[in-house]
A and B are shown apart, each in its own frame.
Chain A
Amino acid sequence: MNILVLLKQVPDTTEMKIDKEKGTLIREGVPTITNPDDLAGMEVALRLKDKYGAKVTAVTMGPPQAENMLRELYAMGADHAVLLTDRKFSGADTWATSNTLAAFIKQVDFDLIIAGRQAIDGDTAQVGPQTAEKLGLPQISYVDDVLEFSKEKIVVKKALENNYEVLECSLPCVITTLSTIAKPRYMRVMGISHAFEKDITIKTFDDLNIDPAIIGLKGSPTKVKKTFTKEVHSNSDILHLDGKASARKVAEILMDMNFIGK
């Protein structure tokens, strides 16, 4: 079985700087990591590989530097890595990104696509579901556990706000994973020793047979008008109450805010 895992390299900091003119993130000089939800998705794929013998392919769209992330995924145990990279792809919103990913995925065989729920830089949680739509595939988002996996179907536990659903879906399909689904394994020493000998499949615009009007910054319908840091206000009320009354007051406030039940 073939599993594709969609991953993104993201800046490793909460103090991200913003390009005020373009309204996009400044990525230069900021250390990068593999997006945590995506890395959990990779771990799920590797566990399915360990258990069922699947072939795991890591797929990312990004700048040439994303190669380093793919080498790390090789060191964890990925079988194959694909980098979709072209200046024409850059500046893409989620719609243009999923167009690009889908154009590549249409060219390859697969049984299951795993995407992280959302990236810590954009926080949209859209790319996985959009890619599924563009490929005409069923999708299950917010997957917190994979219970069964076979050539025909997958059975998963999907997280809802206060409970879980167990869903069965025929293959091929797309699932999006939460970072809590699986703690990613460490790279292996031997994996690192050989990660740099492995080929990374590079796909550019010319390889994808895609309309240039639906990719990259120009093909992105979402225009970021403004990016700014949220102002944090703390309006505080000061009450002078004795012990019993203050406990009651705190309980009331928590109930009003639905932190505790009434």
Chain B
Amino acid sequence: MNFDLSPKQAMMQKLFREFAINEVEPIAAEVDEEERFPEETVKKMSEIGMLGIPFESKYGGGDGDNLSYILAVEELSKVCGTTGVIVSAHTSLACNPIYTYGTEEQRQKYLIPLASGQKLGAFGLTEPNAGTDAAMQQTVAVDEGDHYRINGTKIFITNGGYADTYVVFAMTDKAKGNRGISAFIMEKDMEGFSIGKTEHKLGIKGSSTTELIFKDVMVPKENLLGPEGKGFMIAMSTLDGGRIGIAAQALGIAQGALDQAVKYTKERKQFGRPISAFQNTQFTIADLQTKIDAARLLVYRAAYMKDMNRNYSSEAAMAKLFASEVAMEVTTKSIQLHGGYGYTRDYPVERMFRDAKITEIYEGTSEVQKMVIASKILR
């Protein structure tokens, strides 16, 4: 068994770390404060190939592996959770289903611009009445010969408004429940496609989270992704992959927060000593880094299994469940280690604490992860 990154993965990590420190960290506080989508960072990431890392170069990708992509999300999230999720949603939720389930024509038309970073992608599954119960889709796609007519509303769509290409789910046959859901590739400039309300959130404030409104959108037949009726399966398998991305985001936030706490406790003096000299600080830091390392092993294992083309649903769920809870604990305690200063916006742990919470919720809540894990054990 080998716990080392390959030389190639280590070089990828070095690149992502340099990029995150030089380009992302300096604007992270401002992006949060102003709730501003960092378009300039997206452009820079597209130049170096960070928006299609695990896809083949013939589809505009970087010829890398999933673990390298996960390293990118981790390094970005260490300094900015917003930037981490932009890459994760784009790569896992938009590029990946088109790569996995798309026809060659769909890959040519949609994956190449996405993976090469000329366009940004998003994923639309959640509706006001279809959250964890995703089968309750009310968005409807009616077959009208050479096209589908789609009507409905999606909510909480990451990258909404800034994305050009959307993988969207809609009912093609209500009577069939789960088996009546189909997946479609939609474009933001299709007639009748509009962006609704933008959410104001606790954290990942620079990330755009919007409503999508479809009013008689005519989607050509060739934009059906996968077979009709297979949408639920496509959504669930896409989310399996997405969870590794969110787990990596949580892992990055946790490590980023602890790195800040370590730096602060070495500098901050009370009672004539740096507070890192106190055993309470040392024990807290030791506990937190141990948990982060455990999370990292789970996250990397899930990515490795995806790279090996094995079934990784349960491992991805474990990685997300554990890493997101670790992120909450580490950010909470990192604020505690900062004392009153940690509660202010002068130190990044305050932002990281707010950013961590969403990792326990989106792409399946922690409870959903437990359902996935238990169903495999008890089947």
Q: Give the interface of A toward B (CB within 8 A).
A: 68, 71-72, 75, 186-190, 192-196
Chain B contacts with A in 10-24, Cβ cutoff 8 A:
11-12, 14-15, 18-19
Q: Once the chains bind, are A190 and B19 in contact (CB under 8 Å)?
A: no
Q: Once the chains bind, are A186 and B12 in contact (CB under 8 Å)?
A: no
Q: Once the chains bind, are A192 and B8 in contact (CB under 8 Å)?
A: yes
Q: Which residues of B contact A75 (CB under 8 A)?
A: 11, 15
Q: Once the chains bind, are B7 and A189 in contact (CB under 8 Å)?
A: no
Residue of A nearest to B63 (CB): A193
Q: Once the chains bind, are B12 and A192 in contact (CB under 8 Å)?
A: yes
Q: Which residues of B contact A72 (CB under 8 A)?
A: 11
Q: Does B286 reach chain A (CB closer than 8 Å)?
A: no
A75 to chain B, nearest CB (A): 7
Cα distance A192–B15 when bound, in Å?
9
Cα distance A75–B11 when bound, in Å?
9
Cα distance A195–B15 when bound, in Å?
13
A95 to chain B, nearest CB (A): 34
Residue of A nearest to B51 (CB): A189
Residue of B nearest to A71 (CB): B11
Q: Once the chains bind, are A189 and B18 in contact (CB under 8 Å)?
A: no
A171 to chain B, nearest CB (A): 31
Q: Once the chains bind, are B53 and A189 in contact (CB under 8 Å)?
A: yes
Q: Which residues of A contact B47 (CB under 8 A)?
A: 186
Q: Once the chains bind, are A192 and B18 in contact (CB under 8 Å)?
A: no
B57 to chain A, nearest CB (A): 6
Cα distance A68–B14 when bound, in Å?
12
Cα distance A167–B183 when bound, in Å?
63
A37 to chain B, nearest CB (A): 18
- Chain B 22-55 interface mask (CB, 8 Å, partner A; 1/0): 0000000000000000000000000111100100
Q: Please tell me which one of the listed residues B11, B49, B57, B61 contacts residue A195 in the complex, with CB atoms under 8 A apart.
A: B11
The 5 closest A-B pairs by CB, nearest first: A189-B49, A189-B62, A193-B63, A190-B62, A187-B15
Q: For chain B, which range describes its interface: under 10, 10 to 19, 20 to 34, or 35 or more residues?
A: 10 to 19
Cα distance A148–B15 when bound, in Å?
31
Q: Once the chains bind, are B63 and A190 in contact (CB under 8 Å)?
A: yes
Cα distance A196–B63 when bound, in Å?
13
Cα distance A187–B18 when bound, in Å?
10
Q: Does B64 reach chain A (CB closer than 8 Å)?
A: yes
Q: Once the chains bind, are A189 and B15 in contact (CB under 8 Å)?
A: yes
Name 5 A/B residue pairs within 8 A (Cβ), A-sorted.
Answer: A75-B11, A186-B47, A188-B48, A189-B50, A189-B63
Q: Once the chains bind, are B50 and A195 in contact (CB under 8 Å)?
A: no
B26 to chain A, nearest CB (A): 15
- Chain B 68-85 interface mask (CB, 8 Å, partner A; 1/0): 100000000000000000
Cα distance A187–B12 when bound, in Å?
9
Residue of B nearest to A75 (CB): B11
- Chain B 1-13 interface mask (CB, 8 Å, partner A; 1/0): 0000001100110
Name, among B11, B49, B57, B61, the residue most crowded by chain A CB atoms within 10 Å (CB to CB).
B11
Q: Once the chains bind, are A186 and B18 in contact (CB under 8 Å)?
A: yes
Q: Once the chains bind, are A195 and B48 in contact (CB under 8 Å)?
A: no
Q: Which residues of A contact B64 (CB under 8 A)?
A: 189-190, 192-193
B198 to chain A, nearest CB (A): 31
Q: Which residues of B contact A188 (CB under 8 A)?
A: 48-49, 62
Cα distance A50–B7 when bound, in Å?
28
A31 to chain B, nearest CB (A): 11
Q: Once the chains bind, are A193 and B8 in contact (CB under 8 Å)?
A: yes
Q: Once the chains bind, are A193 and B15 in contact (CB under 8 Å)?
A: no
Q: Once the chains bind, are A189 and B8 in contact (CB under 8 Å)?
A: no
Q: Once the chains bind, are B11 and A187 in contact (CB under 8 Å)?
A: yes
Q: Which residues of B contact A187 (CB under 8 A)?
A: 11, 14-15, 48
Cα distance A203–B362 when bound, in Å?
55
Q: Once the chains bind, are B8 and A195 in contact (CB under 8 Å)?
A: yes
Residue of A nearest to B68 (CB): A189
Residue of B nearest to A183 (CB): B22
- Chain B 217-253 interface mask (CB, 8 Å, partner A; 1/0): 0000000000000000000000000000000000000
Known contacts A186-B48, A187-B48; decide if A192 and B11 are in contact (CB<8 Å).
yes
A60 to chain B, nearest CB (A): 17
Residue of A nearest to B65 (CB): A193
Cα distance A75–B10 when bound, in Å?
13
Q: Which residues of B contact A194 (CB under 8 A)?
A: 63
